[in-house]
């Protein structure tokens, strides 16, 4: 009876793609993503202009920014976008490299799959290769540096920013990045920790990139709440509040039922009394500065001004937290709970005009490790790209301070790994050897793209590089000099990168490639289409 009746396991409308079809579909999608960012790799890489659905424009060369902005549909392509994000979180730099490598690993895998090498063999080979590659980077290719060596740190920061549109001011920005990270790094046990999230980065367009400055303290993108407040407060005692200094409208509506003019007056007096109490409470604990995450009623601002108290409202939560850390203050919810012990302290709080706007500076903080960077630049697009570049540079400097190992850039590390891994592949044996060779081959995609993007002949350069890394006079630091397309010593050209950027890019690229290779069945449920908007819908 049952014979011939198909057993339906999956819901109707579910799409299924199995076996080789599934794999090649995934690989094609992932490679499309890699191809998109490949042309931006390196200092001569091109920028992308991204226009979002609201018409806002972003111009960038930053791999992760590009991938975050584009709306990717395919699941395998999404996985590649995740790689860029992970790389960004871990290292700040190397996002394009990681994605290009993943795409290349998948491309080489396709050849192997065509030769009937099983996906699990390929992934095993890749795993062996990436372990060996990391080992080689740590022991042979990387160079230990002293974290207190400023020149190395500046070179790393400068290399990280090399591909971004900040070329002219790179050296100044690199110095600022190094000073800022130095300021926040601290020794914990036998480790040095540099948490760059502690650095406050603000941007304001106007002026030029070279006006970008390091500020010993915290800069808040807000002006004082009332023109009669003092423009500057010395020996600041700062109250940090995360609730509003207002009277909630609903509280009032619920209660009053006004019948006579007297009652109105009585009500207004009552309100006034509440506002007075708020200001009195602030005054009583000895605060002369108020930083509030929420709103402050105009009347309260007026009374605060009368008491010569400097106040800013609508401050971002993250800024409030940074202020708490910098000034040693405690964020308080209700004004009633405020005590003098909660106040933070700073030598000076003042308002300063930056471009067309005014900002609040909190300097000479109780915690000497607090520092801000105020980015300037001709237009908003410029300041945004400077911010992204600085983010890369800060993270890069932090990882060198924490790890103390750097590798040559300009494709030198990748070529050296490729040469060494090819030799090592023989010791692996079996079919995995083919995968190790494919891995080595994939690494050459980095120098290849760097050269190609600079308009040189990639084949010649690659031959040049391979021979520079082989033989008795091999130089592990030989990479591409983009000034002439020939091989040169990257240490001499000051093109160096943290070990962590390299190892993380290899790990995440390999992981995602392996994950995509292991998928042999795509089961996609039917897309739920949004219900059509009826006559009473919200369409305009
Ligand atoms: N001046 C330079 N000459 C040659 N290569 C460089 C130079 N500056 C940076 N690079 C290389 O460019 C690559 C990084 O390019 P980038 O566009 O920043 O991509 P990613 O997002 O991967 O960091 C690295 O391989 C780095 O070594
Ligand atoms: Mg980079």
pLDDT tens readout for residues 410-467: 999 999 999 999 999 999 988 999 999 999 999 999 999 999 999 999 999 999 999 9
Whether the CB-CB separation of 43 and 482 falls below 8 Å is answered with: yes
- Ligand that lies nearest to the alpha carbon of residue 484, given by its number in the listed order: 1
Residues catalogued as catalytic? 62, 95-96, 392
Nearest CA to ligand 1 atom 6: 410
Contacts of 284 (CB under 8 A, 6+ apart): none
From the alpha carbon of 479, which atom of ligand 1 is closest? 4
Whether the CB-CB separation of 479 and 465 falls below 8 Å is answered with: yes
**Ligand 1 mean position, distance from CA 41 (Å):** 6
Per-residue pLDDT band for 262 (boundaries 50, 70, 90) equals confident
What is the per-residue pLDDT for 163? 67
236, two tokens:
């600041």
Ligand 1 pocket test: pick from 39, 42, 480, 483 the residue with the most ligand atoms within 8 Å of its Cβ: 42
Average pLDDT, integer, range 253-260 = 66
What is the per-residue pLDDT for 450? 94
For the chain, the average pLDDT equals: 88
What is the per-residue pLDDT for 168? 75
**Ligand 1 mean position, distance from CA 460 (Å):** 20
Buried b (16+ CB within 10 A) or exposed e, 502-527: bbbbbbbbbbbbbebbebeebeeeee
**Ligand 1 mean position, distance from CA 47 (Å):** 14
- Ligand that lies nearest to the alpha carbon of residue 163, given by its number in the listed order: 1
Nearest CA to ligand 1 atom 13: 42
- Kindly report, residue by residue over 470-482, the tens digit of the pLDDT: 988 899 999 999 9
Ligand 1 neighbours, Cβ below 6 Å, are: 40-43, 45, 61, 63, 93-97, 159, 162-163, 409-411, 446, 450, 480, 482, 495, 497
CA distance 229 to 501: 48
- Classify residue 321 by burial, with Cβ atoms within 10 Å: 0-12, 13-18, 19+: middle
Closest among 504, 507, 498 to 439, alpha carbons compared: 507
**Ligand 1 mean position, distance from CA 43 (Å):** 6
Residue that is written with structure tokens 């960077």 in the block: 373
294, two tokens:
């929420």
From the alpha carbon of 408, which atom of ligand 1 is closest? 27
What is the per-residue pLDDT for 5? 67
CA distance 191 to 378: 40
Closest among 409, 413, 439 to 511, alpha carbons compared: 439
- Ligand that lies nearest to the alpha carbon of residue 414, given by its number in the listed order: 1
Cβ neighbours of 381 (radius 10 Å): 16
Whether the CB-CB separation of 311 and 301 falls below 8 Å is answered with: yes
Whether the CB-CB separation of 240 and 325 falls below 8 Å is answered with: no
- Kindly report, residue by residue over 167-206, the tens digit of the pLDDT: 678 889 999 999 999 999 888 888 888 888 889 999 988 8
CA distance 515 to 83: 12
Per-residue pLDDT band for 533 (boundaries 50, 70, 90) equals low
CA distance 273 to 250: 18
Contacts of 421 (CB under 8 A, 6+ apart): 129, 132, 133, 136, 436, 437, 439, 440, 443
Contacts of 146 (CB under 8 A, 6+ apart): 152, 404
Phi-psi region of 491 (alpha: psi -120 to 50; beta: other; left: phi over 0): alpha
Average pLDDT, integer, range 77-102 = 90
Ligand 1 pocket test: pick from 97, 142, 389 the residue with the most ligand atoms within 8 Å of its Cβ: 97
Nearest CA to ligand 1 atom 23: 94
Q: Where are the alpha helices (DSSP H) in 92-185?
A: 95-114, 119-136, 150-161, 170-184
CA distance 35 to 103: 8
What is the per-residue pLDDT for 528? 65
Average pLDDT, integer, range 492-518 = 94
**Ligand 2 mean position, distance from CA 200 (Å):** 21
Q: Where are the alpha helices (DSSP H) in 404-482?
A: 412-428, 432-443, 445-453, 458-468
Q: Where are the alpha helices (DSSP H) in 357-411?
A: 380-403
CA distance 386 to 295: 31
- Ligand that lies nearest to the alpha carbon of residue 409, given by its number in the listed order: 1
With a cut of 50, say whether residue 486 has pLDDT above it.
yes
Buried b (16+ CB within 10 A) or exposed e, 153-170: bbbbbbbbbbbbbbeebb
Per-residue pLDDT band for 538 (boundaries 50, 70, 90) equals very low
The sign of the torsion formed by the CA atoms of 234, 376, 224, 237 equals negative
**Ligand 2 mean position, distance from CA 257 (Å):** 65
Nearest CA to ligand 1 atom 5: 410
Whole-angstrom CA distances from 428 to 104, 315, 434, 442 are: 21, 59, 9, 18
From the alpha carbon of 392, which atom of ligand 1 is closest? 23
Helix (H, G, I), strand (E, B) or coil at 527: coil
pTM comes to 0.83
CA distance 233 to 180: 25
Nearest CA to ligand 1 atom 27: 409
With a cut of 70, say whether residue 94 has pLDDT above it.
yes
Contacts of 355 (CB under 8 A, 6+ apart): 204, 205, 206, 207, 376
What is the per-residue pLDDT for 536? 45
- Classify residue 206 by burial, with Cβ atoms within 10 Å: 0-12, 13-18, 19+: middle
Whether the CB-CB separation of 207 and 355 falls below 8 Å is answered with: yes
Nearest CA to ligand 1 atom 20: 94
């Amino acid at each position: 009876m049952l014979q011939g009746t198909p057993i339906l396991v999956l819901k109707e409308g579910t799409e299924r793609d199995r076996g080789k079809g599934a794999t090649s579909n995934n690989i094609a999608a992932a490679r499309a993503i890699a191809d998109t960012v490949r042309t931006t790799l390196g200092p001569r890489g091109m920028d992308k202009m991204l226009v979002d659905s609201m018409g806002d424009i972003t111009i960038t060369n930053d791999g992760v920014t590009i991938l975050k902005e584009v709306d990717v549909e395919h699941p395998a392509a999404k996985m590649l976008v995740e790689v860029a994000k992970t790389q960004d979180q871990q290292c700040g730099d190397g996002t394009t490299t990681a994605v290009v490598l993943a795409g290349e690993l998948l491309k080489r895998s396709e050849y192997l799959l065509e030769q009937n090498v099983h996906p699990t063999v390929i992934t095993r080979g890749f795993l062996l290769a990436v372990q060996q590659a990391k080992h080689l980077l740590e022991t042979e290719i990387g160079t230990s540096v002293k974290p207190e060596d400023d020149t190395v740190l500046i070179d790393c920061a400068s290399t990280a920013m090399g591909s971004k549109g900040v070329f002219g001011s790179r050296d100044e920005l690199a110095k600022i990045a190094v000073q800022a990270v130095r300021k926040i790094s601290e020794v914990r046990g036998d480790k040095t920790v540099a948490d760059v999230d502690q650095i406050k980065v603000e941007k304001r367009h106007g002026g030029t990139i070279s006006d970008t400055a390091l500020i010993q303290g915290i800069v808040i993108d807000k002006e004082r709440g009332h023109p009669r407040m003092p423009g500057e407060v010395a020996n600041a005692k700062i109250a940090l509040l995360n609730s509003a200094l207002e009277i909630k409208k609903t509280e009032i509506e619920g209660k009053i039922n006004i019948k006579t003019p007297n009652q109105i007056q009585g009500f207004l007096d009552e309100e006034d009394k509440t506002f007075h109490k708020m200001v009195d409470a602030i005054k009583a604990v000895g605060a002369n500065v108020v930083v509030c995450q929420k709103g402050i009623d105009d009347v309260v601002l007026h009374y605060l001004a009368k008491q010569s108290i400097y106040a800013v409202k609508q401050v971002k939560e993250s800024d409030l937290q940074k202020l708490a850390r910098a000034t040693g203050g405690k964020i308080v919810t209700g004004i009633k709970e405020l005590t003098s012990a909660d106040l933070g302290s700073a030598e000076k709080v003042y308002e300063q005009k930056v471009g067309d706007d005014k900002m609040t500076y909190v300097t000479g903080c109780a915690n000497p490790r607090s520092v801000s960077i105020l980015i300037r630049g001709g237009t908003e697009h410029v300041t945004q790209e400077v911010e992204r570049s600085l983010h890369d540079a800060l993270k890069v400097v932090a990882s060198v301070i924490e790890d103390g190992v750097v590798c040559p850039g300009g494709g030198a590390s990748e070529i050296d790994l490729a040469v060494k891994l090819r030799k090592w592949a023989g010791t692996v044996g079996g079919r995995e050897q083919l995968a190790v060779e494919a891995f080595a081959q994939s690494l050459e995609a980095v120098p290849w793209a760097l050269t190609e993007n600079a308009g040189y002949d990639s084949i010649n350069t690659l031959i040049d590089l391979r021979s520079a890394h082989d033989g008795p006079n091999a130089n592990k630091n030989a990479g591409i000099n983009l000034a002439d397309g020939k091989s040169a010593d990257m240490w001499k050209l000051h093109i160096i990168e943290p070990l962590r950027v390299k190892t993380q890019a290899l790990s995440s690229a390999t992981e995602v490639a392996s994950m995509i290779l292991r998928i042999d069945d795509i089961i996609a449920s039917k897309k739920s289409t949004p219900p059509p908007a009826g006559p009473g819908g919200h369409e305009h």
